């Protein structure tokens, strides 16, 4: 295994479990295994009290399962002919070669860094691995008042909110006209409202052109393309990530068109005996048919499990993704699945949309809170292509129901007849999801009628 986080850790566990006679060696660059990178923002905000809470499986637990864990040991090269990996211990500088029969490439991702002047200055932080989180938290404990977050996607907003919770002045810069650009614009507006209400400043449709570096070599703000100067004691990069494929490229393990490592459904690369899983691979999007890179712990765990089962002599496949994502932005819950309108267009679908506002419980029930459900349905067929949910508590997790509808290629007409649960403390008698399906079905019908009338 190269990498001991979600994908590598899962693959190692499964392979060893299925086939105990395997010698499993796990190289991990960092000092922790199987931790929740997604939990870092909540540890920074203080919602999660202890760094240790983020560790799902410690090196000791892996070792007890019979896995040879090499921490702080970086793999520096893969020799496909000799079937060895070159490693270096980052503590004592030792180096060596480790032979393998089967190799799992699970290097994860690297944070995107805009190639602008000053980006490597002191006071510019990433939030990719646990050590980044430790460094950022230590910095925030110092004399910091103003923070600029570069990137208004999931991770950018989560970090912005964490800093705001700590009482700091926070500005988020993003190139898109609304934050979390993977949502439709109308949903993005609601996200922007929630973020601003929390006292976070948003600089949208603008990009960071340079980090302003002081005489001490530390960042003291950023300058944007539109000429704005945003002073800051600390700059955090929350631009998202790209697959870490350096070693693979050097070794000649083929990449796919999306930039991730190309794998089949069993997580085999195109090189015999080399497997890959997690943020570094590309997955099949079940709606667009395209290969996409989606860096999410939930996929990494599943893919690692699949690779491990296959290596251990079993049979398992990873059937692809449909773009499900969820986040909490201040008081707002937002989630999406399938294609956004923009993605649906790019994928060549003709579609209609429908959005409804409802409540999470029966309207008369105490604690009922607003929820908006938006659906994207294919013209003519009525097939559900995508959905987005925004609302207060108890809203966003309902996206799973729609993700499963999309997974099963249901039409909105079929969706509206589903036997979903109902009781006043849990939903109106017509569940918001079903009301949205009714309205989407209406839109599909109206569209067909127009065709006939024309």
Known catalytic residues are 38
421 binds a copy of itself (CB under 8 A): yes
356 binds a copy of itself (CB under 8 A): no
Task: Report the nearest approach of a copy of itself to the CB of residue 333 (Å).
Answer: 8
Q: Which residues 312-331 are close enough to bind a copy of itself by CB under 8 A?
A: 317-328
Task: Report the nearest approach of a copy of itself to the CB of residue 346 (Å).
Answer: 19
138 binds a copy of itself (CB under 8 A): no
36 binds a copy of itself (CB under 8 A): yes
Question: Sign of dihedral through CA atoms 309, 311, 315, 319?
Answer: positive
Candidates 24-32, 86-94, 267-275, 390-398: pick the segment binding a copy of itself (CB under 8 A): 390-398
Nearer to a copy of itself, 59 or 428 (CB): 428
- CA separation for the pair 357, 430 (Å, rounded): 12
- The single residue among 405, 436, 440, 443 that binds a copy of itself, judged by CB under 8 A, is 405
Number of neighbours of residue 249 by Cβ within 10 angstroms: 11
Binding mask 204-243 for a copy of itself (x = CB under 8 A): ----------------------------------------
Query: Tokens standing for 449?
Result: 């009628």
375 binds a copy of itself (CB under 8 A): no
CA distances from 446 to 416, 441, 453 (A): 17, 9, 10
Nearer to a copy of itself, 410 or 436 (CB): 410
Q: Would you say 33 and 3 are in contact if contact means Cβ atoms under 8 Å apart?
A: no
Phi/psi zone of residue 328: left (φ > 0), alpha (ψ -120 to 50 degrees), beta? beta
Task: Report the nearest approach of a copy of itself to the CB of residue 38 (Å).
Answer: 6
Residues 6+ apart with CB under 8 A from 103: 1, 2, 78, 83, 85, 273, 274, 275
364 binds a copy of itself (CB under 8 A): yes
Task: Report the nearest approach of a copy of itself to the CB of residue 121 (Å).
Answer: 31
Locate all alpha helices (DSSP H) within 369-453, ordered by sequence.
399-407, 412-416, 432-453
- CA separation for the pair 8, 318 (Å, rounded): 15
- The single residue among 2, 7, 11, 56 that binds a copy of itself, judged by CB under 8 A, is 56
- CA separation for the pair 119, 203 (Å, rounded): 19
Instruction: Name the phi and psi angles at 54, rounded to 5.
Output: -80, -10
Task: Report the nearest approach of a copy of itself to the CB of residue 244 (Å).
Answer: 20
429 binds a copy of itself (CB under 8 A): yes
- CA separation for the pair 450, 144 (Å, rounded): 60
Locate all alpha helices (DSSP H) within 246-296, ordered by sequence.
246-251
430 binds a copy of itself (CB under 8 A): yes
Task: Report the nearest approach of a copy of itself to the CB of residue 122 (Å).
Answer: 30
Q: Would you say 159 and 44 are in contact if contact means Cβ atoms under 8 Å apart?
A: yes
Candidates 58-66, 136-144, 224-232, 411-419: pick the segment binding a copy of itself (CB under 8 A): 411-419
122 binds a copy of itself (CB under 8 A): no
Instruction: Name the phi and psi angles at 408, rounded to 5.
Output: -90, 10
Nearer to a copy of itself, 10 or 269 (CB): 10
- CA separation for the pair 411, 380 (Å, rounded): 10
Task: Report the nearest approach of a copy of itself to the CB of residue 269 (Å).
Answer: 20
Burial of 371 (0-12, 13-18, 19+ CB in 10 A): buried
- The single residue among 30, 39, 188, 382 that binds a copy of itself, judged by CB under 8 A, is 39
Site residues (vs a copy of itself, CB under 8 A): 6, 36, 38-39, 42, 47-48, 50, 53-54, 56, 154, 296-299, 301-302, 317-328, 333, 335, 337, 362-366, 394, 396-401, 403-405, 407-408, 410, 414, 416-427, 429-431, 433
């Amino acid at each position: 295994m190269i990498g001991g986080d979600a994908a590598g850790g899962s693959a190692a566990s499964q392979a060893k479990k299925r086939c105990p006679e395997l010698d499993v060696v796990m190289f991990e660059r960092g000092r922790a295994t199987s931790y929740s990178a997604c939990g870092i923002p909540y540890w920074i905000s203080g919602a999660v009290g202890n760094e240790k809470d983020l560790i799902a499986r410690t090196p000791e637990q892996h070792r007890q399962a019979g896995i040879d864990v090499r921490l702080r040991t970086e793999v520096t090269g893969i020799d496909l002919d000799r079937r060895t990996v070159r490693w270096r211990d980052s503590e004592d500088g030792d180096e060596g070669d480790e032979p393998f029969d089967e190799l799992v490439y699970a290097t994860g991702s690297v944070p995107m860094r805009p190639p602008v002047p000053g980006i490597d200055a002191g006071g510019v932080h990433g939030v990719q691995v646990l050590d980044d989180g430790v460094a950022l938290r230590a910095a925030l404990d110092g004399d910091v008042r103003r923070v600029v977050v570069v990137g208004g996607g999931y991770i950018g907003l989560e970090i912005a909110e964490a800093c705001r919770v700590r009482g700091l002045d926070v500005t988020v810069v993003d190139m898109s006209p609304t934050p979390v650009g993977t949502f439709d614009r109308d949903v993005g507006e609601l996200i922007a409202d929630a973020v601003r209400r929390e006292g976070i400043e948003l600089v949208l449709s603008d990009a960071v052109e340079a980090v302003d570096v002081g005489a001490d070599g530390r960042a003291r703000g950023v300058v944007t393309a539109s000429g704005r100067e945003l002073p800051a004691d600390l700059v955090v990069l929350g631009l998202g990530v790209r697959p870490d494929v350096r070693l693979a490229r050097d070794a000649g393990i083929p990449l796919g068109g999306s930039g991730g490592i190309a794998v089949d459904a069993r997580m085999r690369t195109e090189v015999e005996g080399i497997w890959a899983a997690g943020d570094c691979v590309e997955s099949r999007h079940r709606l667009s048919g395209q290969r996409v890179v989606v860096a999410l712990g939930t996929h990494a765990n599943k893919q690692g499990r699949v690779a491990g089962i296959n290596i251990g002599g079993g049979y398992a496949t990873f059937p692809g993704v449909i773009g499900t994502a969820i986040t909490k932005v201040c008081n707002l819950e937002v989630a999406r699945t399938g294609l956004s309108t923009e993605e649906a267009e790019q994928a060549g679908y003709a579609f209609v949309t429908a959005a409804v506002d409802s409540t999470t419980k029966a309207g008369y029930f105490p604690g009922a809170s607003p929820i908006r459900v938006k659906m994207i349905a294919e013209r003519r067929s009525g097939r559900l292509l995508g959905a987005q949910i925004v609302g207060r508590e108890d809203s966003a997790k309902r996206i799973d129901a729609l993700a499963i509808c999309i997974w099963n290629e249901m039409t909105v007409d079929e969706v509206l007849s589903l036997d979903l649960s109902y009781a006043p403390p849990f939903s109106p008698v017509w569940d918001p999801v079903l009301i949205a399906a009714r309205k989407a079905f209406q839109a599909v019908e109206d569209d067909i009628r127009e065709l006939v009338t024309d």
